[in-house]
Amino acid sequence: MTPSRSLLPLLLVGALLTACSGPENYFQRRWYDATDVIDLKYGCTWNSFGLGAKVEATNYIGAGIGIGIQELLYEQFGRHLAVDEADFLYLGVFGVDGPGTENPPSHRSEFSVVGINCCQDERPLWVDRFRVGGELWLLNAVGGVYLNAGQAVDFLGGLLMLDMADDDNLPLDVPW
């Protein structure tokens, strides 16, 4: 079989997949899926303070050290964006990280005992719980980067028109 003949079935499959939703829609959805793979956490206000760091091996396992209160914190979970105030207190494998107590939480709250998050609520979605990364709290600023493995699988499945995260019809940064 010549090289051009071996590429023909692959090109036909690709054409059929993009024809299902239109090429511009298909590529836009794959771009959005690709941006879901990296989650950012950030915040900076003058009324906040903190000093510390935390690493997570999933939303269920993490460790850190430090204390902080952030008045306005943005955290991405795939296509979703949580905007809230946050409290942070970690001492090794024991810690609390999540929304403050004044407003109803828009995203996850975390209570870790021996490095295991024992109080996971319904958010984030299951596909966004398998992320690896960390965050740094410095004075009045917070920054964090996470590799979202669940969204990486959704991106690869999206190449075959599978939508495991059920987010292909959502725009970027959908608030909770």
pLDDT at position 104: 46
Mean pLDDT score, 94-110: 64
Task: Specify whether the CB–CB gap between 123 and 129 falls below 8 A.
Answer: no
pLDDT at position 155: 93
Mean pLDDT score, 23-38: 87
- Please state the length of the chain: 176
pLDDT at position 173: 80
Return the domain boundaries, the chain. 1-176
Nearest C-alpha neighbor of 151 from the set 83, 82, 79: 79
pLDDT at position 14: 60
Mean pLDDT for the chain overall: 82
Percent of the chain topping pLDDT 70? 75
| 28 pLDDT above the threshold of 70 | yes
CB atoms within 10 A of CB 98: 21
The helix (H) or strand (E) run that includes residue 95 is strand 94-99
User: Where does the pLDDT of residue 3 fall: very low under 50, low under 70, confident under 90, or very high at 90 and above?
Assistant: low
In angstroms, what is the C-alpha Rg of the chain? Answer: 19
pLDDT at position 64: 94
pTM above 0.75, yes or no: yes
Torsion (CA) 145, 93, 83, 133 in degrees, nearest 10: 10
- Cα angle 106, 108, 113; round to 5: 150
Which residues partner with 117 through β-bridges?
112
Which residues partner with 86 through β-bridges?
70, 99
Q: How far apart are CA 144 and CA 53, in angstroms?
A: 9
pLDDT at position 40: 95
pLDDT at position 92: 92
149, with CB counted inside 10 A (0-12, 13-18, 19+), is middle
How far the first Cα of the chain sits from its last, in Å, is: 53
User: Where does the pLDDT of residue 96 fall: very low under 50, low under 70, confident under 90, or very high at 90 and above?
Assistant: confident
Q: How far apart are CA 61 and CA 100, in angstroms?
A: 21
pLDDT at position 157: 92
Residue pointed to by tokens 């001492």: 91
What are the pLDDT digits (tens) for 35-93? 999 999 999 988 899 999 999 998 888 899 999 999 888 989 898 888 888 889 999 98
